[in-house]
Amino acid sequence: MKSVRKGDRVQVLSGEDRGKIGRVLSVVPEKDRILVENINMVTKHQRATQTLRQPGIVKREATFPASKVLPICPGCDTPSRVRFVDVDGKKTRKCSRCGETF
């Protein structure tokens, strides 16, 4: 069970993008890595291929370890650690600060 899910708002805790907030675009559970909007941008030198449109230098997000972020709790609007609680048989995240479940 991961504390970060697709669509979450998260805050980056370390590295170049420390302190920035973004939305999770995708999660790679096997590798414990995530892709976050406008975080960990890399410059790709894209070559034109048969299927691919424009060649050139493009900026895009790269995955990074999920442990570098904390989800932002919708209850207290603060990056928070979460615990897991059972709600109607479903594992639900609970904010360790305010107790909000989300």
**Of 24 and 95, which has the nearer Cβ to Zn ion?**
95
Q: Which of 28, 58, 76, 85 binds Zn ion (CB under 5 A)?
A: 76
Cα 19 from chain centroid? 13
User: Minimum distance from CB of 41 to Zn ion (Å)?
Assistant: 29
Q: Are 87 and 27 in contact (CB under 8 A)?
A: no
Q: Which of 37, 75, 101, 102 binds Zn ion (CB under 5 A)?
A: 75
Task: State the Cα–Cα distance between residues 82 and 47, nearest whole angstrom.
Answer: 42
Task: State the Cα–Cα distance between residues 98 and 72, nearest whole angstrom.
Answer: 12
Chain position carrying tokens 């919708």? 74
- 21 contributes a contact to Zn ion by CB under 5 A: no
What string marks each residue from 29 to 68 as x (binds Zn ion by CB under 5 A) or -? ----------------------------------------
In terms of DSSP bridges, do strands 33-36 and 41-46 run parallel, antiparallel, or are they unpaired?
unpaired
Contact residues toward Zn ion (CB under 5 A) are 73, 75-76, 95, 97-98, 100
